Amino acid sequence: MSQPTGGGPQAGGRPARPQVVLQVLKREEIAPHLVRLTLGGPGMSDFVDKPVTDRYVKFLFAKPELELELPYDMEALRAQLAPEDMPVRRTYTVRRSDLQASTIEVDFVVHGDEGLAGPWARDAQIGSSICFSGPGGMFVPRDEFDFHFFAGDETAIPAIAASLEAMSAQMTGLVIIEVADQADEMQLQAPAGVEVRWIHRNAAFTPETTILDSSVRQIPWPGGRVQVFAHGEREVMKKLRAYFYDERGVDRRDMSLSAYWAFGRAEDAFQAEKRTEVGKIFAD
């Protein structure tokens, strides 16, 4: 069995989560900027699945030259390494799990050499090992709602796709996904009553090129009780919160609305800012 991360509490007093160590079994480029890795191996015995469609795991990446042993004893490493040499966390959604085959699939957004996890996934070798904690997550599309509204950018595609596949045949709704251009579109499996719309920035993401918020606001508001799933860039999610929550009056309990990332921020800074005013999507 994998050992807990450091065997003690994480910074901030939270208990450490166990690490799962898996190997890369398959690598696919499913879109120009999206790479899917199939992960598995003996470590799947440590993977405790969660019956939600927005499952996420927190990968740990260490500098290769340090040759650190997996799983990482984070408490011991903090005593041995300089802060800049510590393994860093990157959060990704589990696209699909197959417990019978003992595998999971994770999709990585790749934009050249930007970031850490994307280039790693692009260049990952079959058999290479990676570790993570999790999964977490809370969202499930539910039959009690009259309409299901999904909105997101590239980072939300795995969770949206998993949610669509989990929906019952009679559910209705709309999906709006913002990508760079038509080449990044892919076929998603959805109930007959759920429309999937792809919208194009025709550029890399910037606060000036994104069109997700404006596109959502152009949609005639459906009647009845609406369940919302909206995930993506932080400032865009703040605008969508203002729309769904403040303007349309969607109950906060009927929404899964949060930021997966923030423009111009590495994940470490993004996660740290969640505890500050700039990082909050909701005021309270």
- When pLDDT is cut at 50, 70 and 90, the band that residue 38 belongs to is very high
Q: Which of 34-48, 73-87, 269-283 has the lowest mean pLDDT?
A: 269-283
**Adjacency order of strands within the sheet including 193-200:** 193-200, 172-179, 147-152, 226-233, 255-261
When pLDDT is cut at 50, 70 and 90, the band that residue 135 belongs to is very high
Quickly count: other Cβ atoms within 10 Å of residue 230's Cβ: 26
pLDDT tens digits, 235-257: 999 999 999 999 999 999 999 99
Helix (H, G, I), strand (E, B) or coil at 249: coil
Q: Taking a C-beta distance cutoff of 8 angstroms, is the pair 139, 257 a contact?
A: no
Does pLDDT of 284 surpass 90? Answer: no
Residues 111, 114, 117, 121: is their CA dihedral positive or negative? positive
Q: Name the token pair of 180.
A: 């760079």
Share of the chain above pLDDT 90, in %: 80
Band of the pLDDT at 150, cuts 50, 70, 90?
very high
Cα distance between residue 26 and residue 48, in whole Å:
21
Residue (of 200, 211, 203, 205) closest to 262 by Cα position: 205
CA distance 101 to 63: 31
> What is the rounded average pLDDT for all residues in the chain?
91
pLDDT at 10 over 50: no
Task: Say which amino acid occupies 109.
Answer: V
What pTM, to 2 d.p., does this model score?
Answer: 0.89
Mean pLDDT of 153-178: 97
> How does pLDDT run across 189-244, given as a tens digit for each residue?
999 999 999 999 999 999 999 999 999 999 999 989 999 999 999 999 999 999 99
